[in-house]
Structures are given as structure tokens and as C-alpha cells.
């Protein structure tokens, strides 16, 4: 009698026959048919899933492609035209944060003297984006193309460096403001640290490498009590997250200079003010509230000591930025590999004449011809520092930096711009 093993499996491969009338064979047939059906259904489902995933990948890729706001022949043509120089040995500069306060003024100054300029800005909503768009329009009127994009978009940066051979990068994009860090700390890490690294990666991989000038901040001095603040002072005790990200930026840039031969200059700005300024700055919000008849909050330090700032007019900051670009020296890397040492510098850019906040308010009252309603409040523990005061001897020596605008003159120019931009006539809004 054949064994069960013999009945289920043929003795001669390829000649397996089934007796359909045998009970065991009928049972086997049903199982075999069921298993085969399940096998084919499984194959079908796998194929269907693979097809769907392939299609979804295609759709996602297409969506990413069509959602990108940059690229194309016309876009590249605008880039090259904007980056074209119009003076002998002119610079070709990528300005990040070009639609920002300092970025707009630096871009215009570069273009005015015949340098090529391409702007990059993400137009975030930290403050009213309409002001940034107005600055972009101003830049466009002067032949400066501003790309709408994010610093963390490595593909965009790679494309920019592929289309234009930039001799310099003026890195001014950042998440600004000391107090906002308590509301949205991640935005500071995203822009001031991750964005900086993404940009430096693009710079070190470029061939030739550009020289980099970037905006650090006087905030890195933290609660330093030695005055005036000097570049050689300790900066390892920041008083705010904003200051900490700027200090981190100084360490990161030093690393890229050391490893990749990038020529890097860091500029510690001291309370920049002027036309087209940032609405979150005290002088700007004071002006708005005074004109609207609203009270302003004036902070005081411990023991009712008035806060003081080394207010620096925008034109003086621009001089320091251009001087830094002109004296930066070349990067020494090639395709991401260092071939020799490159310059690494840090400079204070300030006015050297600190003014108390109540004095600032008095000057604004005089120019606006309106008396402010003041609420004097003790400064909260939000990261602000009681005073700033710049030692600019290094910038004087190396950059020829010499501030010329005092606060009285600078605020007069700001107020004139403010009244014109926001449509005021003799201190009253124009309907």
C-alpha cells in the first residue's frame, strides 16, 4: 500500500497525476486550489501596492517640483543680470536677509557703487511682511533681484552657486529679537544655527569659495560689566537665547574657517536704527505709539538705573559692512578642501556713545512734536541687558570704520522716513 508520502508527492518529477475520485486527492485539490488562489491574490496585492507607491512618489516629486518658486531659464537670467558687476574689480555678492533692514541698505550701497548683488530672503512673519515686500520693491527698482527662499534649502543654495560665481557672501539673515525667543525658541535654532551651517556648507563646497561676512551681535557680550565692550572680552555667558545662537555662530564659523579655509568676518552690531528699520525695535514702536496717543513702556534696570544703548545709525553700519567685504581677503579652499590658512576676524560696529532710553524718548518727542505717555517699568528677566558700549578701535584700524551720525541726527532722518512711509501729514495720518 502506498504511503501517504507517496500519494502526496510523485515518484517521477514532472509527471504528477491526481486521482480526483480519491477522497484524499479531492481534499488535496481543494487545498491546492485555495493556496494557489491566495498566492495569486497576494501577488496581485503586492503589485498593486508597489504601483500605488510608485505613483504616489511620482505625484509627491511632481508636487515638490511644481511648488518650488525658483528655477527655470528666466529665473537664471534674472540671477545673472542682478549679479553682474559694473565697475573694475567689482564684487559679486549674495546678500542673505536682503529684504531685511540692514540687508536692504547694504544691497543698495553695493549696487550703487557698481557691485553685483543677488538677494535671498524667506519673508517670514516675525514682523509685518508688507514692510519686507516694500523693501523688495525698492531693491527691484534698483535692479536687484531677491530670491524668495529659505537658508535651510540646500538645493536652492547649490543652484544659486551653480548659476552665479559669487566672490562674497554677506550673511545678514537671522531670527532677530531678544524677547521673542521666549515665545518661539525653535525659530532661532532653525535660522541662526541650522541655516548658518547650511549656508557655510554651500560656501565651502563652491569652487571658487566666496569670502563670507556675517552679522553676529553685541548681545554676545551678555552681562559683561567691563566697558567699553572689546572683541577680546569674554563672550561665554549669554543672557538670552538669541545671544547664545549668535555666540554659537561665531564658534561654527571659526570651525569652517579652520577646516575648510573659508575667509570669514563676523560683525557685532550695536543697536542699529534708521529708515526702513524693524518695527520690533524700541525707537520704532515708540514712534508708532507716540503718534497714536498710546502709552510707551520704558524699562529701567536695577535700582531705577536707566537702560543705555550704543545706538548706531544704519549708514554707519553699512560703511562697516562694505569695509569688511573689501578687506576680507580670499578663501583658500578648493572644492571643500583647505589649501592654506584664511582670515578669520571679528569686529565691533557701534557708535561708541551710549545714550539712555529716556533721552531717546525725549529726542523723538522733539522731532514728532508730541509728548509721550510713559510707563516706567523695571526690566523683566527676558534676556535684555542694562547697557551696551562698543570699543571700535579694531574696526577703525582694519576697516577704516568711522561712525559719523549722532542719535539726534539719525532719529530726525528716521522720523522723516516714518511720517512719509506711513502717510502722516504734520503728525496726523493722511486718510
CATH number at residue 170: 3.40.50.720
Q: Is residue 189 assigned to a domain? A: yes
pLDDT in tens, 241-298: 999 999 999 999 999 999 999 999 999 999 999 999 999 999 999 999 999 999 999 9
Q: Is residue 244 assigned to a domain? A: yes
Q: Is residue 23 assigned to a domain? A: no
User: Active-site residue among 242, 260, 283, 313?
Assistant: 242
Q: Is residue 238 assigned to a domain? A: yes
Taking 3-state DSSP, the helix, strand and coil percentages for the chain, each rounded to the nearest 5, stand at 50, 15, 35
Q: Is residue 344 assigned to a domain? A: yes
Q: At what angle do helices 357-368 and 407-421 cross, to 10 degrees?
A: 50
**Domain interval for residue 240:** 73-270+314-351+390-403
Q: Is residue 309 assigned to a domain? A: no
Burial class, 322, CB count within 10 angstroms (exposed 0-12 / middle 13-18 / buried 19+) = buried
Question: What stretches in the chain show pLDDT beneath 50?
Answer: 1-67, 431
Please indicate whether residue 418 is annotated as part of the active site. Answer: no
pTM above 0.85, yes or no: no
User: Which residues are 215's β-sheet partners?
Assistant: 267
- pLDDT for 334 equals 85
Q: Is residue 50 assigned to a domain? A: no
Instruction: Give the whole-angstrom CA distance, residue 293 versus residue 89.
Output: 52
- pLDDT for 384 equals 64
- pLDDT for 429 equals 62
- pLDDT for 382 equals 55
- pLDDT for 173 equals 98
Overall number of domains in the chain: 1
Q: How far is CA 371 from CA 293, 307, 422, 427, in A?
A: 9, 20, 19, 12
Q: Given CA atoms 278, 406, 115, 394 in this order, what sign does their dihedral have?
A: negative
Amino acid at each position: 500500500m502506498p504511503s501517504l508520502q507517496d500519494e502526496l508527492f510523485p515518484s517521477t518529477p514532472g509527471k504528477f497525476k491526481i486521482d480526483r475520485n480519491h477522497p484524499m486527492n479531492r481534499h488535496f485539490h481543494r487545498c491546492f486550489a485555495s493556496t494557489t488562489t491566495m498566492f495569486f491574490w497576494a501577488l496581485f496585492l503586492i503589485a498593486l501596492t508597489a504601483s500605488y507607491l510608485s505613483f504616489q512618489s511620482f505625484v509627491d516629486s511632481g508636487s515638490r517640483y511644481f511648488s518650488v518658486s525658483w528655477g527655470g531659464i528666466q529665473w537664471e537670467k534674472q540671477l545673472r543680470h542682478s549679479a553682474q558687476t559694473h565697475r573694475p574689480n567689482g564684487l559679486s555678492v549674495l546678500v542673505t536677509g536682503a529684504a531685511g533692514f540692514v540687508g536692504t541698505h547694504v544691497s543698495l550701497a553695493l549696487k550703487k557703487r557698481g557691485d553685483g548683488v543677488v538677494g535671498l530672503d524667506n519673508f517670514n512673519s516675525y514682523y509685518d511682511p508688507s514692510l519686507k515686500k516694500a523693501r523688495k520693491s525698492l531693491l527691484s527698482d534698483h535692479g536687484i533681484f531677491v530670491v524668495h527662499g529659505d537658508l535651510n534649502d540646500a538645493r536652492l543654495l547649490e543652484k544659486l552657486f551653480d548659476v552665479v560665481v559669487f566672490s562674497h557672501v554677506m550673511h545678514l539673515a537671522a531670527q532677530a529679537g531678544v524677547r521673542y525667543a521666549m515665545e518661539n525658541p525653535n525659530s532661532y535654532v532653525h535660522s541662526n544655527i541650522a541655516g548658518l551651517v547650511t549656508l557655510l556648507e554651500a560656501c565651502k563646497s563652491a569652487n571658487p569659495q566666496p569670502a563670507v561676512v556675517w552679522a553676529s551681535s553685541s548681545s554676545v557680550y551678555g552681562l559683561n560689566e567691563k566697558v567699553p565692550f572689546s572683541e577680546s572680552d569674554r563672550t561665554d555667558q549669554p543672557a538670552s537665547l538669541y545671544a547664545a545662537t549668535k555666540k554659537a555662530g561665531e564658534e561654527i564659523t571659526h570651525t569652517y574657517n579652520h577646516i575648510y579655509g573659508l575667509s570669514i568676518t563676523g560683525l557685532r552690531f550695536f543697536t542699529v536704527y534708521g529708515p526702513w528699520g524693524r518695527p520690533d525695535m524700541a525707537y520704532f514702536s515708540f514712534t508708532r505709539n507716540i503718534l497714536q496717543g498710546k502709552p510707551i513702556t520704558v524699562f529701567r534696570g536695577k535700582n531705577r538705573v536707566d537702560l543705555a544703548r550704543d545706538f548706531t545709525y544704519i549708514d554707519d553700519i553699512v560703511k562697516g559692512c562694505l569695509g569688511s567685504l573689501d578687506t576680507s581677503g580670499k578663501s583658500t579652499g578648493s572644492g571643500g578642501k583647505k589649501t592654506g590658512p584664511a582670515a578669520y576676524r571679528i569686529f565691533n560696529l557701534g557708535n561708541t556713545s551710549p545714550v539712555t532710553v529716556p533721552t531717546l524718548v525725549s529726542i523723538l518727542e522733539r522731532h514728532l512734536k508730541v509728548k509721550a505717555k510713559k510707563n516706567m517699568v523695571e526690566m523683566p528677566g527676558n534676556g535684555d541687558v542694562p547697557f551696551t558700549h562698543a570699543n571700535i578701535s579694531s574696526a577703525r584700524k582694519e576697516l577704516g570704520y568711522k561712525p559719523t551720525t549722532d542719535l539726534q541726527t539719525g532719529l530726525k532722518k528716521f522720523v522723516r522716513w516714518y511720517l512719509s512711509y506711513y502717510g502722516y501729514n504734520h503728525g496726523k495720518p493722511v486718510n
